[in-house]
Structure 1
Amino acid sequence: MDDSQRRPVATPAYSVVQSAPHQILVCKACKHKGEACKPGFALLKKLRAAIETAGLGDDFEVSGTACLAGCVPAHGEPCVVAWRATAKATWMFGDIDPDQPIDDLIEFSRLYAALDDGWCSGKDCPPRLCDNTLARIPAAIIVTREGAIQ
């Protein structure tokens, strides 16, 4: 297989140990250029600092991740950001410019932390995020012979 056609591989594997109840993931792999995503790293650094400044550091871990496959290269170099937590819906937003103010990302973080199940309407999101919603993924419910496990 041609190296330019290979998918990004996380090192270590995709398993994640969280240090906080909620996690914000920032894509840091540019599959279109085959290299690290400089805008993603810039946004990661900016978002980590803003989460701490907002007093949300105990509630959120901000991590870089392998390709989230939500970018639109025709829009320049946008970033993809996702929020997730155990037993909560996952939200993914795209076309986030690290050079723009990130107040809306902090506002969504506050909203997400306050939701019991992570479920809200897109219209409840800050306006810029509402327009850039890529996905709202329901929390996984695993069913075994013994019953449902969250």
Structure 2
Amino acid sequence: MTREPGDLPSRRVDRTGCSGRTLRERLPPRSGHPSAPISRWRFAVAATKHTIHVCTRCRGGNGQPGLLLLGRLQDLLAARTTCDLVLGGVGCMAGCDRPLTVGFSAPGKASYLFGDIDPDLHAQALLEFADLYTSLLGGWCNEGQRPAGLAGKIIARIPAPAEHSLQ
């Protein structure tokens, strides 16, 4: 079999161990002939990693609320059957006036920074936003689309670089 430009590899590209399926199995079926190449656009979407960044330097009444939030988010993500998100701690996100800060990013999408996050109150709302964010083509949403638990928590929405924008 000859590979054409734009064909996907039959091996998984992401090595997170989340699903064990190949990218071909996760994409919708191709139209036309079975050997027709899959478009590069669909490959880019399938391989996109959505990341939740949690500040681990922020201080609060609970000591280090970032570490507490990371633990809560890990527990909530572990209960899911699929894992499309990457969770990570960041030494400082420069949102010190509104601790605890949490960011969302993905290649080709707008990024978000939220502040005044309470690990006990907002972990579920953050995952609800993560689900919304993964479904948005360019990452853009307005306050009315975001979970009610995150109302008034937004610090910044940063557009994707023009060369990566999908809009």
Give yes or no for the alignment of 1:113 onto 2:139.
Answer: no
Q: How does 1:124-135 map to 2 (within 5 A)?
A: 124-135=145-156
TM-score, length basis structure 1: 0.69
Q: Which has the larger radius of gyration?
A: 2
The answer to whether the Cα contact below 8 Å between 2:122 and 2:149 also exists between their aligned partners in 1 is no
Output one character per residue of 1:93-146: Cα deviation in whole Å (capped at 9) or x when no partner.
1011112252211110110010011011122111221311001100112xxxxx
- Partners of 2:151 and 2:159 in 1: how far apart? 17
CA positional deviation for 1:64? 0.1
Output one character per residue of 1:2-57: Cα deviation in whole Å (capped at 9) or x when no partner.
xxxxxxxxxxxxxxxx9571000000113x79xxx611011011112212323452
- Partners of 1:101 and 1:65 in 2: how far apart? 18
- Partners of 1:64 and 1:54 in 2: how far apart? 20
The answer to whether the Cα contact below 8 Å between 1:54 and 1:106 also exists between their aligned partners in 2 is no
Q: Letter of the aligned partner of 2:55 in structure 1?
A: C
- Partners of 1:100 and 1:136 in 2: how far apart? 22
- Partners of 1:122 and 1:55 in 2: how far apart? 28
Question: Structure 1: where are the runs of 5+ without partners?
Answer: 1-17, 142-148
- Partners of 1:61 and 1:87 in 2: how far apart? 16
Q: Equivalent residue for 2:52? A: 24
Choose from 134, 139, 143 the match for 2:160.
139
- Partners of 1:90 and 1:56 in 2: how far apart? 22
Structure with the greater relative contact order (CA < 8 A, sep ≥ 6): 1 or 2? 1
Structure 1 runs, 4 residues or longer, greater than 4 Å off: none
The answer to whether the Cα contact below 8 Å between 1:79 and 1:95 also exists between their aligned partners in 2 is yes
Percent identity reads: 38
Q: Equivalent residue for 1:44? A: 70
Question: Structure 2: where are the runs of 5+ without partners?
Answer: 1-14, 17-47
Output one character per residue of 1:78-107: Cα deviation in whole Å (capped at 9) or x when no partner.
411011000000011101111225221111
Q: Equivalent residue for 2:112? A: 91
Q: Letter of the aligned partner of 2:73 in structure 1?
A: L
- Partners of 2:69 and 2:124 in 1: how far apart? 12
Against the structure 1 CA distance between its residues 25 and 56, is the aligned structure 2 distance closer, same or farther, given a 3 Å change threshold?
farther
